[in-house]
Amino acid sequence: PEKIIIDTDPGQDDAVAILLALASPELEVLGITAVAGNAPLHLTEVNTRKICELAGRPDIKVFAGCDKPMLLELHTAPEVHGPTGLNGPDLPDPAMPLQGQHAVDFIVETVLNEPPGTVTLCPLGPLTNVARALMKDPRVAARLKRIVLMGGAQSEGGNSSPVAEFNIFVDPHAADVVLKSGVDIVMFPLDVTHQVLTSQKRMEAIAAIGTPLAKATYQMLDYYRQYDEKKYGTDGGPLHDPCVIAWLIKPELFEGKRVNVEVEVSSPLTIGQTVVDHFHKTGRPTNAVYMRKADADGFFDLLTERLRRLG
């Protein structure tokens, strides 16, 4: 299996991504690192442990990382995810421990201890922990297999500003470090994640699994869909973060293009905008595969089948 570290800020869509990863034998989750984003760190780390327990995996190592972006003040998203970051189901307080090590140190140590080119980082929130790990030890970038992340927006416009997507908007300086790191990057921006909507029909297929886990997942998604349905008039909310995990399992569900991507870090008008050079206007070397198309039905078939496996 592919060895992954999930870096996350749950978030209902983060939670579904974690469940999908833990249900999938193609992946070996070495650890999960929490970051401040959708909610403050003291909530995202607890939410991460709640989801591991929901999946029946209290053995997973969970680490807390950075509680604020590199330079900016933290900006959370209670309007989307609720004040706890994970509103919807009533999940018990976790009994499994939080690891004592800092998430950044765990990432550095793990990447240096595993054989070169074998660890994939999966950032599902602001890129603060990941950037700090890359900065802390310059050997990390060269040893990683790749970074597969959710972030960015171009054709769809932004969801945090007219041009910026939330994960990049919250910590654009961290995103800049990651995009310039030289690591092989695969990006899932709003351009593609907005195609993966939790329609009523798809949510009912999940509820029909009938397990307590499926019921809790349904409750999460039922809370989460409300913001987007009101704001954008869609049938369902976009399952951004699970796209990262689904691609690692079944890459044929997605289509993208290798391009150069840079992030705006200084303009007050456009800070956090991802600038995607689709037509090679700049001559800058390509640094990422920028995803643009998803097979949404294929994605939900995979997700539903895997949630059923978790029991």
Among 43, 42, 62, 44, residue whose Cα is nearest residue 52: 62
- For position 175 contacting Ca ion by CB under 5 A, the verdict is no
Q: Which stretch binds Ca ion (CB under 5 A): 100-108, 234-242, 256-264, 276-284?
A: 234-242
- For position 11 contacting ligand BDR by CB under 6 A, the verdict is yes
- For position 165 contacting ligand BDR by CB under 6 A, the verdict is yes
Instruction: Provide the minimum distance between the beta carbon of 130 and ligand BDR in the complex, in angstroms, as a whole number.
Output: 13
Q: Which residues are catalytic?
A: 240
List 125, 158, 237, 242, residue binding Ca ion (CB under 5 A): 125
- For position 45 contacting Ca ion by CB under 5 A, the verdict is no
Distance from C-alpha of 191 to C-alpha of 235, rounded to nearest angstrom: 17
- For position 274 contacting ligand BDR by CB under 6 A, the verdict is no
Question: By CB under 6 A, what part of segment 84-143 binds ligand BDR?
Answer: 124-125
List 128, 159, 198, 273, residue binding ligand BDR (CB under 6 A): 159
- For position 240 contacting ligand BDR by CB under 6 A, the verdict is yes
Query: Other CB atoms closer than 10 Å to residue 199's CB: what's the count?
Result: 15
Q: Which does 165 bind (CB under 5 to 8 A by kind): Ca ion, ligand BDR, none?
A: ligand BDR
C-alpha angle 309-64-142 in degrees, rounded to nearest 5: 85
- For position 24 contacting ligand BDR by CB under 6 A, the verdict is no
Question: By CB under 6 A, what part of segment 199-238 binds ligand BDR?
Answer: none
Q: Judged by CB under 5 A, how many residues of this single chain contact Ca ion?
A: 6
Instruction: Provide the minimum distance between the beta carbon of 114 and ligand BDR in the complex, in angstroms, as a whole number.
Output: 25
Q: Which stretch binds ligand BDR (CB under 6 A): 7-15, 28-36, 51-59, 269-277?
A: 7-15
Q: CA dist 216 to 97, 222, 223, 284, Å?
A: 22, 10, 11, 46
Q: Which does 171 bind (CB under 5 to 8 A by kind): Ca ion, ligand BDR, none?
A: none
Positions touching Ca ion (CB under 5 A) are 9, 11, 14, 124-125, 241
